Amino acid sequence: MKALPLALGLLAAPTAAFAQDAAPAAPAVNETFKYDKPANAPEAIETSPDGSITVQVTTDNDGRPLYAVSRRGKLIVAPSKLGFLFTDQAKLERAMRIATVAHAKSDTTWTQPWGEWRQIRSNYKEMRVRLQETSSLARAYDVVFRLQDDGVGFRYEFAAPAGSKTSIADELTEFTFAEDATAWWKPAFLWNREEYLYNKTPLSAVGTADTPVTLKLASGTHVALHEAALTDFAGMAVMKTEGNTLRAVLTPAAEGPKVVKTGAWMTPWRTLIIADDAPGLYMSHLMLNLNEPNKLGDVSWVKPGKFVGVWWNMIKGTWTWARGPRHGATTANVKTYIDFAAANRIPGVLVEGWNVGWDGDWAGGGEAMNFSQPTEDFDAAELKRYARSKKVQLIGHHETGGSPSHYESQFDSAFKYAADHDISTVKTGYVTDAAQLKRVLPDGRTIREWHEGQWMSGHYTRVLEAAAKYKVAIDTHEPIKGTGLQRTYPNWLAREGMRGMEYNAWPGKNPPEHEANIVFTRMLEGPMDFTPGVLSLKGSDDSDILSTIAKQLALYVVLYSPVQMAADTPENYARYMDAFKFIRDVPVDWEETRVLNGEVGDFVTIARKARGGRDWFLGSVTDENPRTLTVDLDFLDAGRTYVAEVYRDGPGATYATDQRHSIAIEQKRVKKGDRLTLALAPGGGQAIRFRAR
């Protein structure tokens, strides 16, 4: 890789032309980062459109490139290193000089086919800094910064001759925070993949963490560190090194370098959302904006919607996925769910365990899975007919058991089968421990990959492409982290990637703070198939779920997913039909979203307007503490009156006793400008439908 001309045209060009070496007019140079600019080096500084965020790039005494990020004149990321380790060439870090700097800007608005907001504004300034090695190696790369008013993304771009191979051992990008901080993080590289509770520690006590990592700096500013557009690359974790520094650690490959690229290559975007408070983090569109536009064309066949399913009884252990006397996915059971869905205007019914392959050790096995062969007691033709007659759609399920190569060998038959049976959404699964996914090489050897490694990042995309050919959308469990790729592949509806409701079926339940935690951490990745709505509040062996019933309703607004399960059984819902009415009424697709208040891990209130409708919905949840929150109904449309259908924690409600089912349901007239007081019980919540009149 010698002094190669960089292919600037390689990537989607911003709408404005690059102006070589033109520094922006009077940037707000912050006073906390002064440096001696080497003679002849161009100034590399850029600000966000409103001038609040500044990025500066310099080199240190050893020629190490450093970038720094400040907001309103205050340093957020102190000068931090860039660089790479390769397996077959020298480290790329020192002896670099800034060769050229180019600036661009763009301000456009695009439309989401489904989502939390219909319109997304993408308003950014861009700075492309070319770094040139001064040693005899004379290598070069660009680092491209995109500055929005709510954060910064940057990525590396390397030119290399077509067909040449680059072998990456690790990425040396650092994030040195200028202040101490409280950090919310979950461990990376442990056996249970993304399914760990968040830790809340000082930044100094962060170990090796999955992203997003959410930080509250000592001054109160909130930062979320993550990545965007992770395709054909290893997922980035971060590890605490010295002081306040987190350093990138790429996910290993089963064999050889962590990442191998052919020809010109670039990294995903490394992203820092910066906001005054936790709600500000959630309201950012940085990650979506850093992804490429829709590649699939017309996606009117992608259908957001609610669903029920043959699931909770299996997760609880009452029924089985495998064949036998307790098999869940029988024709009769599925008909019961279809009837319930039809009676309650719920468009989908998920069926797991419908196919051959579950008998025996499917978790970590999966080679027996056949995605086009139903079991003998699942009458696919009859269920297709029955579902059609009731205007309900079956949702398919492909559990790979951790054998993605085996799954790939069936892509065509699996998705053709789905399409032939009116199945337009498939939930997938990759149940096996971290670094145990079976990849079969062309020579027949089986090697074991990580869920977030480079090969799997390609696999998850291959699933989307294979499914799209048959107009099927995907909901991935045991996924790679979300990085906004639903913009590029709108058939990627949702994913798991965190402890969802299933953990409430088992011992070791999610604590009451879990949902208020994940809104400002995991949910920054995008939609999650959490599967809320267990109104019985009972897991296996009659164990108690640590929530009130009103909180279960609030989760439909608080935890965004375009495919939202009503996870409990029809028999259980029959006992709570008053509360269930909210689940019937709440949509899954939104015109607009506002986070009205929130603190990471403590509480959050979100209001959303139904897409294509006039009603607004509100959800508010708290941790183990009771809380009284006041919200101004500024979001309601002016000149309209609404009936607020309120589902609130009732007398004595608490997650901690058998009063968890205490709920009060009432109606009142409200209008824009009114103020509401939300009284949340310990482990409680509140859900409101604002029905426009």
Q: Which amino acid is at 252?
A: P
Look at residues 240, 293, 255 and name the one whose alpha carbon lies nearest to residue 454. 255
Work out what residue 150 binds among Ca ion, ligand NOJ, none; the CB cut-off runs from 5 to 8 Å by kind. Answer: none
Pick the closer one to Ca ion by CB: 277 or 399. Answer: 399
> How many residues interact with ligand NOJ (rule CB under 6 A)?
9
Q: Distance between CA atoms of 358 and 361, rounded to whole angstroms?
A: 7
Render the burial of 340-358: b for 16+ CB within 10 Å, e for the rest. Answer: bbbebebbbbbbbbbbbbb
Work out what residue 46 binds among ligand NOJ, Ca ion, none; the CB cut-off runs from 5 to 8 Å by kind. Answer: none
Per-residue binding string, ligand NOJ, 269-308, x by CB under 6 A, is ----------------------------------------
Per-residue binding string, ligand NOJ, 350-389, x by CB under 6 A, is --x-------------------------------------
Cis ω on the peptide bond leading into residue 202 (within 30° of 0)? no
Strands (E), 521-633: 563-565, 590-599, 603-610, 616-622, 627-632
Least separation in angstroms between residue 515's CB and ligand NOJ is 17
Pick the closer one to ligand NOJ by CB: 217 or 472. Answer: 472
The residues facing 209 across adjacent strands are 187, 238
Q: Does 477 bind ligand NOJ (CB under 6 A)?
A: yes
Q: Which two tokens stand for residue 183?
A: 């950090």
Judging by beta carbons within 10 Å of its beta carbon (0-12, 13-18, 19+), is residue 28 exposed, middle or buried?
Answer: middle
Least separation in angstroms between residue 430's CB and Ca ion is 9
Q: Does 431 bind ligand NOJ (CB under 6 A)?
A: yes
Of residues 326-355, those binding ligand NOJ (CB under 6 A): 352
Pick the closer one to Ca ion by CB: 427 or 477. Answer: 477
Of residues 158-197, those binding Ca ion (CB under 5 A): none
Pick the closer one to ligand NOJ by CB: 311 or 411. Answer: 311
Contact with ligand NOJ (CB under 6 A): which of 429, 490, 526, 532? 429
- Classify 291 as helix, strand or coil: coil
Pick the closer one to Ca ion by CB: 477 or 689. Answer: 477
Contact status, residue 58 vs residue 254, Cβ threshold 8 Å: no
The residues facing 80 across adjacent strands are 67
Pick the closer one to Ca ion by CB: 500 or 587. Answer: 500
Least separation in angstroms between residue 195's CB and ligand NOJ is 8
Work out what residue 352 binds among ligand NOJ, Ca ion, none; the CB cut-off runs from 5 to 8 Å by kind. Answer: ligand NOJ
Q: Does 568 bind ligand NOJ (CB under 6 A)?
A: no
Cα 455 off chain centre by: 19
Contact status, residue 487 vs residue 116, Cβ threshold 8 Å: no
The residues facing 125 across adjacent strands are 105, 147
Contact status, residue 223 vs residue 189, Cβ threshold 8 Å: no
Q: Distance between CA atoms of 566 and 428, rounded to whole angstroms?
A: 18
Work out what residue 429 binds among Ca ion, ligand NOJ, none; the CB cut-off runs from 5 to 8 Å by kind. Answer: ligand NOJ
Q: Does 399 bind ligand NOJ (CB under 6 A)?
A: yes
> How many residues interact with Ca ion (rule CB under 5 A)?
1
Render the burial of 29-65: b for 16+ CB within 10 Å, e for the rest. Answer: ebeebeeeeeeeebbbbbbbeeebbbbbbbbeeebbb
Least separation in angstroms between residue 463's CB and Ca ion is 17
Look at residues 129, 155, 137, 382 and name the one whose alpha carbon lies nearest to residue 248. 155
Q: Distance between CA atoms of 93 and 86, rounded to whole angstroms?
A: 11
**Number of Cβ atoms within 10 Å of the Cβ of 616:** 25
Contact status, residue 24 vs residue 69, Cβ threshold 8 Å: no
Least separation in angstroms between residue 558's CB and Ca ion is 20
Work out what residue 322 binds among ligand NOJ, Ca ion, none; the CB cut-off runs from 5 to 8 Å by kind. Answer: none
Pick the closer one to Ca ion by CB: 327 or 477. Answer: 477
Q: Distance between CA atoms of 248 and 237, rounded to whole angstroms?
A: 6
Least separation in angstroms between residue 209's CB and ligand NOJ is 22
- What is each CA distance from 361 to 128, 315, 431, 434, in whole angstroms? 51, 16, 11, 17
Q: Distance between CA atoms of 202 and 214, rounded to whole angstroms?
A: 11
Least separation in angstroms between residue 531's CB and ligand NOJ is 7
Least separation in angstroms between residue 478's CB and ligand NOJ is 7
Residues 6+ apart with CB under 8 A from 577: none
Pick the closer one to ligand NOJ by CB: 35 or 191. Answer: 191
Of residues 485-514, those binding ligand NOJ (CB under 6 A): 496, 502
| Among 93-101, 123-131, 464-472, 477-485, the segment contacting Ca ion (CB under 5 A) | 477-485
Q: Which two tokens stand for residue 595?
A: 């986070």
Helices (H), 520-597: 549-558, 570-574, 577-585
From 133, 157, 452, 502, active-site residue: 502
Of residues 119-138, those binding Ca ion (CB under 5 A): none
Contact status, residue 608 vs residue 592, Cβ threshold 8 Å: yes
Work out what residue 398 binds among ligand NOJ, Ca ion, none; the CB cut-off runs from 5 to 8 Å by kind. Answer: none
Least separation in angstroms between residue 97's CB and ligand NOJ is 50
Pick the closer one to Ca ion by CB: 347 or 539. Answer: 539
Give yes or no: 525 in active site.
no
Binding site for ligand NOJ (CB under 6 A): 311, 315, 352, 399, 429, 431, 477, 496, 502
Binding site for Ca ion (CB under 5 A): 477
Q: Where in the sequence numbering do the catalytic residues fall?
A: 502
